[in-house]
Amino acid sequence: MQRTIGAPLRAAAVGAIALQWFSIGNAQQVYPSFRDVDFFYSQQPQVFQALWKAAQTRTIRIAVLGDSQETSPGSHGFQYIPLLNYEMWKRFGSSPETPVVGCFYHGNSGPANWLLAGQCATPGPTATRLDASQILPNARPTAFSSLNSAVNITGGNRGQLTMLRHDARGVDPSTNIPTEVAYFNTSGKVKARIYAATHPASGEIAYRARPNASSSVSYAAAVTTTGTLTLGLRSATFAIKSGETSALEFNGTNYMQLEVFGSSDSALTDLIGLRFVNETHPEGVVIDNFSLGGYTASRFSSTHADAGPMFAAFGFHAAVLHYGANEGGNVTATQFESDISAVISQVRAWVGKDDFPIILIADVYESGLTPAQTAEYDRYVGAQLAIAQSDPNVMVINARRLMEDIGWNAQSGQSGRYLEDGVHYTGLGAQALSAAAVAAMMGEIRVGGCSRDPGAVTLQSNMTLVVEVGGASACTNQGQLTVAQRLTLHRPALKVELKNGFAPAPGDRFKLLSFDSFAGEFATLTLPTLPSGSAWNTDDLYTSGTIAVEDTSAPPPPDPPDPPATPPPPTIGVTSGDNQSITLPSSPAPIAFTIGGSGTLTVTAGSSNSTVLPDSAISVGAGCGSTTLDCTLTLAPASEQTGSTTVSLTVSDTHGQSAATSVTLEIKAAVATEPQTGNASSASPGRARSGGGSLDLLSLLGLALLAMIVPCRSRRRTMSHS
């Protein structure tokens, strides 16, 4: 039973999308530009680290959903997708499975898929009975009966013939992928996993191996292994099922070919495709792509609503969403976030896992956008960041910024090296982008040339900066991260890797970092092992961004001579006049003091109360500290001022050493005198003067008493007389 979407449902979906666009378009969110987003971000890096750890012992499958830049074979992903697989091989040393391929190849010449080639010759298959909505982009299911052309219902005698090219022959030469390497290990048990769809009138799957000494695909190669897979494909319940062949016999040849077809003369079998697997060596990562030219995130959701059974059957462990180029600023960043979120929800519903890991890779610079489109396009990474900030199982790779920093932008004049037509990648562009994307998945920022960032760069603790060194010339044969503003390190790791057989020698210096200002430190430094007699010197890493190789075989230079001993500090001591209290109009006595020390000594003095005693009124005796060590200090207080002050004396030598002491001075007011009772010169005749002629206090008291007694006696005499 096939599921189709009727016209009313489609119309409702379109209406909902239009309404959503209207509401979002009138409430734009604010997203940072790609320049303000880290090179990559995830809330929980351990989610993705667990994938790569698992790949060391078993197969991890990743699906890529994108547009023409990611479509292979048949469109411009013929460089990029094989390179993604190649980068994974470099890390895990094995491609344990090939991608799934249906009846769609580019033949023996021209671009091929990663490790695969093939033919679907006529007479052979007919059109699949699956509805278009049930098929993933770039998947090519077809329907086969048996190869008994005289009696089968198709009249065909050719099946889907798929070749395992374990050495990557046929991949476009512009990728620079070596073709003398066995990326897929053909030792042990090599099988094929074949996928097919159920149908109420389905046949089963038949296969036969045709190993070939040549890498040219040929139906004429002799048959070795044959078999039939009975999967129960005749069913009214739609499903995608799979089964594995028995171990395929190479028969001493180099390349394995497998021909797959239907098992019945009278029934069709809807073959989805197949992948080769190594059961003995399952470790590694394989990347499949289900991308199509002209696609956007919203088009994927609307066109492949029923492709969940196919996606789930392939057994993916994570998905990469690689949209943005075809949106090209024509949709707002808010709408882009909504469209990407819809794809994430759709994929997770297909696999039945709310925590299914998603990697969002931002599309890179493309030419031909208007300023308004560019401004919106620049915020797509910010929209992806908003998703990752709310979803711990989403990772954002800011490939836009990573590529802009190597010159893939309009301002550098170098974008033509990376873009062949303003949008699609050249071989060099595919190499640069795939290397950066896979490195970021692993938590790395790789710098092989000169990476120049015009802003401020922050490296988080989950990042590893990997600098490739193939010579001592920065940006030529040695990587350098150049940051125009501030470089901030939140304890990331630094790893230096040698390339092209380069061997550092003593005296070599490598400027790994260039920055305007700097903060933080690396948590770890991993440097290449040097021959005996050489050692790394990292003393200048945080000042100039440079490391160097030193020769440790030569004897160390002699220690510098000890500096001359510093003499004892000077001394100072007051011998007289240290604490004085005077009454005006008296003057303070000179202060005598002695000093000691080596060389010429300098004495200075200062007053704590400049009103009573200004500094200028303090004089140090001549020759003090130069010709004599017995010194005097003369004080000349201000006229008629009273109060106290502390005089500080300091002696200093020529070595910056000093000693100090202090004295105190108190100045009191003069004592007031009593006024005189008369003019001394008018004393009574016959009375002798005494001293200055003034009466003392006792004499005055006697006179006053006498004056009181005499009148009293006179009154008594008068009264008695009467």
What average pLDDT does this structure show over 600-610? 93
Give the 3-state secondary structure of 145-171: CCCCCCCCCCCCCCCEEEEECCCCCCC
Examine residue 114 and state whether it is found in any structural domain, yes or no: yes
Give 562 or 124, the one with higher predicted confidence: 124
Convert 135-161 to b/e letters by CB count within 10 Å (16 or more is b): bbbbbbbbbbbbbeeeebbbebbbbbb
Instruction: Say what the pLDDT of residue 712 is.
Output: 43
Residues 614 and 498 in one domain: no
Residues 274 and 295 in one domain: no
Residue-wise pLDDT tens digits, 314-324: 999 999 999 99
Residues 522 and 576 in one domain: no
Domain that includes residue 54, residue range:
29-96+282-442
What average pLDDT does this structure show over 520-546? 96
- Most confident range, picked from 107-121, 359-373, 666-680: 359-373
Q: Give the end of a domain, one of 422, 442, 462.
A: 442
Examine residue 710 and state whether it is found in any structural domain, yes or no: no
Residues 210 and 242 in one domain: yes
Neighbours of 465 (CB within 10 A): 22
Instruction: Say what the pLDDT of residue 126 is.
Output: 95
Instruction: Say what the pLDDT of residue 599 is.
Output: 87
At what angle are helices 380-390 and 333-351 packed, to 10 degrees? 40
Q: Which of 9-13, 200-204, 389-393, 449-453 has the weakest average pLDDT?
A: 9-13
Examine residue 677 and state whether it is found in any structural domain, yes or no: no
Residues 296 and 423 in one domain: yes
Q: How many structural domains is the chain composed of?
A: 4
- Asked whether the predicted pLDDT for residue 588 surpasses 80, the reply is yes
Residue-wise pLDDT tens digits, 648-660: 999 999 888 999 9
Convert 232-259 to b/e letters by CB count within 10 Å (16 or more is b): ebeeeebebbbbebeebebbebbbbbbb
Residues 274 and 294 in one domain: no
At what angle are helices 427-441 and 77-92 packed, to 10 degrees? 40
For residue 550, the SS3 value is strand
The CATH number for 308's domain is 3.40.50.1110
At what angle are helices 7-25 and 333-351 packed, to 10 degrees? 140
Q: Which of 25-29, 91-95, 286-290, 597-601 has the weakest average pLDDT?
A: 25-29
Examine residue 22 and state whether it is found in any structural domain, yes or no: no
Q: Report the mean per-residue pLDDT for the chain.
A: 89
**H or E segment to which residue 713 belongs:** helix 697-721
**H or E segment to which residue 107 belongs:** none
Examine residue 266 and state whether it is found in any structural domain, yes or no: yes
Side chain identity at residue 288, one-letter code: D
Residues 258 and 122 in one domain: yes
Q: Is 332 exposed, middle or buried (0-12, 13-18, 19+ CB in 10 A)?
A: buried
What average pLDDT does this structure show over 435-442? 98
For 177, 326, 422, 431, 694, the CA distances from 416, given in Å and listed in that order, are: 22, 19, 8, 14, 121
Residues 44 and 115 in one domain: no
Instruction: Say what the pLDDT of residue 598 is.
Output: 87
The CATH number for 596's domain is 2.60.40.10
What average pLDDT does this structure show over 125-149? 96
Examine residue 430 and state whether it is found in any structural domain, yes or no: yes
Please confirm whether the linkage preceding 123 is cis (ω < 30° from 0): yes
Examine residue 15 and state whether it is found in any structural domain, yes or no: no
DSSP at 629: S
Q: How confident is the model at residue 714 (pLDDT cuts 50, 70, 90)?
A: very low
Give 9 or 128, the one with higher predicted confidence: 128
DSSP at 684: P
Instruction: Say what the pLDDT of residue 104 is.
Output: 79
Residues 294 and 341 in one domain: yes
The CATH number for 182's domain is 2.60.120
Instruction: Say what the pLDDT of residue 106 is.
Output: 55
Residues 127 and 64 in one domain: no
Q: For residue 323, give the nearest of 311, 333, 315 by alpha carbon.
A: 333
- Asked whether the predicted pLDDT for residue 226 surpasses 90, the reply is yes
Residues 221 and 259 in one domain: yes
Per cent of the chain over pLDDT 70 is: 88
Residues 194 and 169 in one domain: yes
CA–CA dist 210, 161 (Å, integer): 9
Q: Give the end of a domain, one of 551, 583, 603.
A: 551
Q: Give the end of a domain, one of 280, 308, 331.
A: 280
Q: How confident is the model at residue 683 (pLDDT cuts 50, 70, 90)?
A: very low
CA–CA dist 380, 338 (Å, integer): 11
Q: Is 276 in contact with 203 (CB distance < 8 Å)? A: no
Q: How confident is the model at residue 673 (pLDDT cuts 50, 70, 90)?
A: low
Residue-wise pLDDT tens digits, 323-337: 999 999 999 999 999
Phi, psi (5° rounding) for residue 631? Answer: -125, 160
pTM above 0.85, yes or no: no
Q: Which of 25-34, 60-69, 350-359 has the weakest average pLDDT?
A: 25-34
- Asked whether the predicted pLDDT for residue 249 surpasses 70, the reply is yes
Q: For residue 39, give the nearest of 335, 481, 412 by alpha carbon.
A: 481
Q: Which of 107-111, 403-407, 473-477, 699-703 has the weakest average pLDDT?
A: 107-111
- Asked whether the predicted pLDDT for residue 112 surpasses 80, the reply is no
Examine residue 704 and state whether it is found in any structural domain, yes or no: no
